[in-house]
Amino acid sequence: MTETGTTASSAKTPDPPDQPETDGLQRRWPPMSYWVRVLLTAAAVFAVLVALWSVINIVILILMAAVLAIGLDPAVRRMERRGIGRGRAVALIFLIALGVVILFSWLVIPRLVTQIGELADDIPQYVERLSARDDAIGRYFQDGNVAARLQGFVEQLPERITGSFGTIVGVAGRVGSAIFNVITVAILTIYFMLSLPRMRRTAAIMFAPETRDRAEDVMDQSINRIGGYVSGILTTASIAGASALLFFSILGLFGAGIPFSVPLAVWAALAGLVPAVGAYFGAAPAVIVGFFQSGVTGVVILVYFIVYQQVENYVIQPRIMKNAVNLSPAAVVIATLVFGSLGGFAGALLALPAAATIKVILVELVL
């Protein structure tokens, strides 16, 4: 009887409703001190970015020096494996680079300056040829009286330059600033080359012991990719300039040569340093000068640059660059445009090393 009553009473007692697990959620929610630290960290990062943006030109010089140092580091390490100390290896590479610059200046710059002067003198003649054309281009130049206006501007240019003290000071200041920037990059590059192993060890110590090996692996991958890219792009640009000069010389042997072949070839090499879009800017002046000579010459030069670009994309670069940056073509173009808009020509040069480093960090540490 007692058992029956107990069973009935227990059957009548309803089960308590399920309580929401608010305690677990409250335990997982970060405390207020955590959000304070997050806000302070974000504010500190923002302040650092603002400070860096205010000295963006100096930051670009430092980054260029660092990229050059990393790019030359494989050569230094090869010398070290042969028993040459790091200091002597860096000095030897610097002397070789200085010798190349001096030899280039002695062989090319005098002719370059002469041909640039000739190009400036011949611009009015080119404009007159365009004005004499019986088409829309010729009518545009005739209606605008471009030839006479350009001739007057060229004749008055020396007087304007000598009569404007501010212009002279401004040009001298820009030249001095460019020389100072080159010297600064050279000195910083030497310093980074000497200090690169120590800087790597110092950076690794900043990480916790359990993540130090992974951080060192990320740094090694970034250094290898930047080094491969720098050596590869310098080689590719040199091949582009030498090939263009050789092609212009061959045209001259067949009586279809173009003037200013040296500056045009040098420009093709310099433009080749900019990824993705540099080749088109390098080809444009040569094609224009070729069309000034004759339509056939212009077409031949245009075809040469188109063919060479295909050879460079599918033969030269795959062999030289290999997997240096490992970026898709779209990423290359986007990185070049973004960094170029931020830092101009120097920013475009730094686009792919920076993008490759960011990709390594994202793949290894985030994804």
Residue ranges of domains in the chain: 55-206, 210-367
CA–CA gap between residue 357 and residue 341 (Å, rounded): 19
List pLDDT tens digits, range 141-155: 667 666 667 666 666
- Interior angle at CA 211, CA 206 and CA 217, nearest 5: 90
Structure tokens at 16: 């308590």
Distances 342 to 37, 60, 275, 335, 339 between C-alpha atoms, Å: 31, 10, 16, 11, 5
Smallest Cα–Cα separation from 74: which of 60, 96, 87, 89? 89
* Higher pLDDT, residue 268 or 328: 268
Helix, strand counts (H, E) of the chain:
15, 0
Q: Is 48 exposed, middle or buried (0-12, 13-18, 19+ CB in 10 A)?
A: exposed
12-16, 260-264, 283-287, 346-350: range with highest mean pLDDT: 283-287
- Distance between CA atoms of 305 and 286, rounded to whole angstroms? 9
Digit-coded pLDDT (tens) for 292-310: 777 788 889 999 999 998 8
The string of DSSP letters for 309-328 reads: HHHIIIIIHHHHHTTSS---
How far is the CA of 191 from the CAs of 70, 182, 266, in angstroms?
A: 11, 14, 29
Q: With beta carbons less than 8 A apart as the criterion, state whether 157 and 121 touch.
A: no
pTM, two decimal places: 0.62
Locate tokens 């045209």: which residue? Answer: 251
Q: Does the pLDDT at position 8 exceed 50?
A: no
How far does the chain reach from its first CA to its final CA, in angstroms? 68
334-343 CB contacts, 8 Å cutoff, 24+ apart: 336/274, 336/275, 336/276, 336/277, 340/274, 342/56, 343/56, 343/60
Where is average pLDDT lowest: 36-40, 140-144, 255-259? 140-144
What are 273-295's pLDDT values in tens digits? Answer: 877 677 888 888 888 888 877 77
